[in-house]
Amino acid sequence: MSTTPAADELLILGKIVSVHGVRGEVKVYSYTDPIDNLLDYRHWTLRRGEEVRQVELLQGRLQGNILVARLKGLEDREEARSYADFEIYLPKQQLPVLEDGEYYWYQLEGLKVTNQAGELLGKVHHLLETGANDVLVVRPCEDSLDDRERLLPYIDHCVLSIDLAAGEMSVDWDSDF
């Protein structure tokens, strides 16, 4: 018997955006890198508002910067249209184990960010992907130095240490930046 994992055990990895063709395929926007990594997972939990569905991916392919997927039991364009706007979730424990010093973005979100002077700059709200490097968006939190949002490059020179257990990140970043 299949059960739906608890919300805190799930991680969003994509979204069904529309239909493709007349045979029930759907277009999927993937948040993974590379994009087609989402196709490595056969069982998806779909969520749209309060509605939750469990689906099985039969096949998929990369088409430009979007994925085209065929889901089990979905063979009609009109039925496929009803899947638009569902977000695609997977249990976190299904993700590959990373090597030491590597992190998934979701692991960094919420970490307190402190500079070398011991000043609390805020918490990591989210990350941005840029051409050169990823960027940490650090927003003020309770007890933070000030009310400024900061954008810090996620590079070795800036990020000195990460302690997931303590919920902290140490950075080389002047509070005046």
pLDDT tens, 35-89? 999 999 999 999 999 999 999 999 999 999 999 999 999 999 999 999 999 999 9
CB atoms near residue 13 (< 10 Å): 19
The CATH number given to whatever domain includes residue 81 is 2.40.30.60
Q: Are residues 89 and 109 in the same domain?
A: no
The CATH number given to whatever domain includes residue 111 is 2.30.30.240
Domain boundary among 66, 94, 122: 94
CA pair distance 113, 167, nearest whole angstrom: 9
Q: Are residues 26 and 78 in the same domain?
A: yes
CA pair distance 101, 136, nearest whole angstrom: 16
pLDDT tens, 79-126? 999 999 999 999 999 988 989 989 999 999 999 999 999 999 999 999
CA pair distance 62, 16, nearest whole angstrom: 14
Predicted pLDDT at 132: 86
* Domain coverage including residue 61: 8-94
Q: Are residues 85 and 127 in the same domain?
A: no
Q: Are residues 52 and 112 in the same domain?
A: no
Domain total in the chain: 2
Mean pLDDT for 120-141 is 94
